[in-house]
Amino acid sequence: MTEQFLAGRVALVTGASRGIGAATAIALAARGAHVVLTARTAGGLEEVEEAIFAAGGNATIAPMDLLETDSIPRLAAAVAERWGKLDLLVLNAAALGTLSAIAAFDPKEVAKTLALNVSAQAALIGAFDPLLRKADNGRVIGLTSTVARKPRAFWGLYGATKAAFENLVLSYGEEVRNLTKVRVALLNPGATRTKMRARAYPGEAPESVKPPEVVAERIVALLAADFETGTFETLD
């Protein structure tokens, strides 16, 4: 793999202030991409940006709440003005929601989780589709979950939103398959050492599962292999 094979490319990573998003941003920058980092936590984004700069990479932070009405269009407009294209969109940001029985769901939490995990993702794809089409080889990678395809007790809210997310991303891939060079893939990271994982499994020893950097390197490998639309992978 050519170390700087992403030189000249612009990548946008959501949920980039920690975990898989942060590790992915750092890995992409190490391969030459200019990475736009988005998340709600400005402090976390600044730390990731500093790590990228310290390693000789380039990044721009864009602290934002994906649920704010005009945040996504504003970001798309800023990327369009500065770079005129987007080579890679990594859809990583998501909310776990409360793990509970379906009969005990809080309707407000259901609406909020659906808004972030599905509606905001649709808005991101819609806003950045024109810029992905302007890239030489636009790519979209969505981070999903095992429970999207294998329902699990008490995981119904998260699993349902991730199932919808998968359908959304793959449907977009089919829409652009024969019209553009944009390609779409899904990656299920499996058990990974993240804050979301710690919340879901509070008694689990963090060192018993893989670090986010393993997932980030697999994303880099997917890009280097020039995947086909509809590609789906699960990491053990």
Question: Residues 113-155: pLDDT tens digits?
Answer: 999 999 999 999 999 999 999 999 999 999 999 999 999 999 9
**pTM (2 decimals)?**
0.97
Q: How far apart are CA 128 and CA 63, in angstroms?
A: 17
* Contact yes or no for 32/7 (Cβ under 8 A): yes
Q: What are phi and psi of 14, to 5 degrees?
A: -90, 155
Assigned token pair, 175: 């829409």
Report the pLDDT value the prediction gives residue 1, as an integer from 0 to 100.
Answer: 44
What distances in angstroms separate CA 98 from CA 45, 83, 94, 174, 206, one per listed residue? 25, 39, 13, 32, 21
Amino acid letter, residue 93: A
Share of the chain above pLDDT 90, in %: 97
Please give the Cα distance from 122 to 115 (Å, whole number).
10
| CB-based contacts of 227, cutoff 8 Å, min separation 6 | 139, 183, 185
Residue 143's SS3 state is strand
**What is the rounded CA–CA span in Å between residue 142 and residue 151?**
19
pLDDT digits (tens, 9 = 90+) for 53-72: 999 999 999 999 999 989 99
How far apart are the C-alpha atoms of 83 and 65, rounded to whole Å? Answer: 22
List of domains in the chain: 10-234 (3.40.50.720)
Q: Please tell me the distance from the alpha carbon of residue 206 to that of residue 204, in angstroms, as a whole number.
A: 6
How would you list the strands of the sheet with 58-63, edge to edge?
Answer: 58-63, 34-39, 10-14, 88-91, 139-143, 183-188, 231-234
* Average pLDDT over the chain, rounded to an integer: 97
Q: Convert the pLDDT of each residue in 169-215 to its tens digit.
A: 999 999 999 999 999 999 999 999 999 999 999 999 999 999 999 99
The type of residue at 229 is: T
